[in-house]
Amino acid sequence: MRVTIFGTGYVGLVTGTCLAEVGHDVVCVDIDQQKVDGLNRGVIPIYEPGLEPMVKANHAAGRLKFTTDAASAIGHGEIIFIAVGTPPDEDGSADLKYVLAVARTVGEHIERPAIVVNKSTVPVGTADKVRAAIAEALARRGAQVPFEVVSNPEFLKEGDAVNDCMRPDRIVIGSGSPEAIEKLKRLYAPFNRNHERIVVMDVRSAELTKYAANAMLATKISFMNEIANIAECVGADIEMVRQGIGSDPRIGWHFIYPGAGYGGSCFPKDVQALARTAQQCGYKPELLEAVESVNYRQKGHLFELIQRHYGGSVAGKTFAVWGLAFKPNTDDMREASSRRLLAQLWEAGARVRAYDPEAMHEARRVFGERDDLVLCDSAHAAIADADALCVVTEWKQFRSPDFPRLRSSLRDAVIFDGRNLYHPDQVEGAGIAYYAIGRGRSVNKP
């Protein structure tokens, strides 16, 4: 089928590539000429495992094209995806300006009946606004072209996006039009194997489904972080508690890892946006507000442990920081817990030597040149000339460090582990003081 995708960010690029991979004829549109030129030369603007060879192969096969020419791209697609960003505006609501700009462009250029599919994460009711924007642009040029607007939210995880897209656990289609539903079922047939993955519903339910999924996952994490903080107070070990509850299938093993808080482009933004939507309806979303505020506090927790260790004074200390990306296998630093930690360390007069396997380029962009930051090219380089080590992202390569080497390298022989990567006995056995999340050997036992 002929598919057009607006937006070559995570969602648009991965979706377009996977649709091309199963044989569809895909044109991706972006307003960023440099990005489009790069993609046409095989330069992938994001780090995402498995994506680059797939983009190159499908581009070479002629099934995946990149352009800035919106008009001809709209002429190409019988199905037109909107996969542009919805950044939060000042009050945390999702800003729809890019989505609606695409809708207007579609209305200005469609000549043949088309199905417009919204893949961006958008507040409930956006499909109606997209429909209105297209209709208005059509009316302005005096044209009458039938079109449908469908909600088809994306559930891919960064770092595993290609896999999620090629093997989705569900495909949500929100539409009231039997023809549109049929067409999308045909589009997704290659992904709908072995058992039925397509869930058809009305547009508003599909829009809410995306937020419900992300808010539920964020809730699990904030819940575990809260229990971890209580574990610290009472002298319990959250890692034992986690193992004690995960085997209950009603709770499950996934997304119950305590840590330095959740980040990324989805959870923080989507929990906020859902809360704003609820407030706009006159409903006070107490649980969502708590999920958000627990997460904010959690992002500062590692620094609290640091302050506690140093008796409130870290001025002049140098901290090695392992991990800057918001999670492993990505170079994305949006809402990353590392950003808060670094800001707090700098504010307190400390210096930072940071290393991340993929996010160094992004770190340079985010932080710029500063006297109190050294961006290092290896984990070892970061610990050289440092007083203490903070682990903020659970990259595999940080999981089994050479503890004797750390012991001799770190002047104060202390590790602050924001992702519970090590066993306390192992670290302390090597003569290193160890602080982790919710493993309260220390404090405030009642």
Q: Which residues of the chain form contacts with ligand UDX (CB under 6 A)? A: 154-158, 214, 217, 221, 255-257, 259, 262-264, 266-267, 326-327
| 8 Å CB contact between 352 and 319 | yes
Task: Compute the least distance from the CB of residue 84 to ligand UDX, in Å.
Answer: 16
- 240's CB contacts (< 8 A; 6+ apart) are none
- Rg, C-alpha atoms of the chain: 24
Report d(CA 289, CA 353) in Å as an integer: 34
Given the residues 18, 28, 165, 266, the one annotated as active site: 266
Residue 255 is assigned to a ligand binding site? yes
User: Of 332, 205, 206, whose CA–CA distance to 269 is shortest?
Assistant: 332
Residue 263 is assigned to a ligand binding site? yes
Read off the DSSP letter of residue 95.
P
- 6's CB contacts (< 8 A; 6+ apart) are 12, 29, 30, 70, 73, 80, 81, 82, 83, 84, 102, 105
Give the nearer residue to ligand UDX in terms of CB position, either 264 or 440.
264
Task: Compute the least distance from the CB of residue 1 to ligand UDX, in Å.
Answer: 24
Residue 8 is assigned to a ligand binding site? no
> In angstroms, what CA-CA distances link 52 with 39, 157, 316?
10, 17, 43
CA 315 to chain centroid: 33
Report d(CA 167, CA 39) in Å as an integer: 24
Task: Compute the least distance from the CB of residue 256 to ligand UDX, in Å.
Answer: 6
Give the nearer residue to ligand UDX in terms of CB position, either 70 or 354.
354
Whether 28 is catalytic:
no
Task: Compute the least distance from the CB of residue 156 to ligand UDX, in Å.
Answer: 5
Residue 156 is assigned to a ligand binding site? yes
Three-class SS of 60-71: HCCCEEEECCHH
Residue 258 is assigned to a ligand binding site? yes
Give the nearer residue to ligand UDX in terms of CB position, either 59 or 439.
439
Residue 445 is assigned to a ligand binding site? no
Give the nearer residue to ligand UDX in terms of CB position, either 198 or 213.
213
Task: Compute the least distance from the CB of residue 216 to ligand UDX, in Å.
Answer: 10
Residue 299 is assigned to a ligand binding site? no
Give the nearer residue to ligand UDX in terms of CB position, either 261 or 285.
261
User: Of 241, 234, 203, whose CA–CA distance to 445 is shortest?
Assistant: 234
Query: Tokens 């670290």 sit at which residue?
Result: 427
Task: Compute the least distance from the CB of residue 46 to ligand UDX, in Å.
Answer: 12
What is the number of H-type helices and E-type strands within the chain? 18, 14
Both tokens of residue 375? 């961006």
Write out the binding residues: 30, 35, 86, 121, 155-158, 210, 255-259, 263, 269, 327, 334
Residues at the binding site for NAD(+) are: 30, 35, 86, 121, 158, 269, 334
- Please list the active-site residues: 266
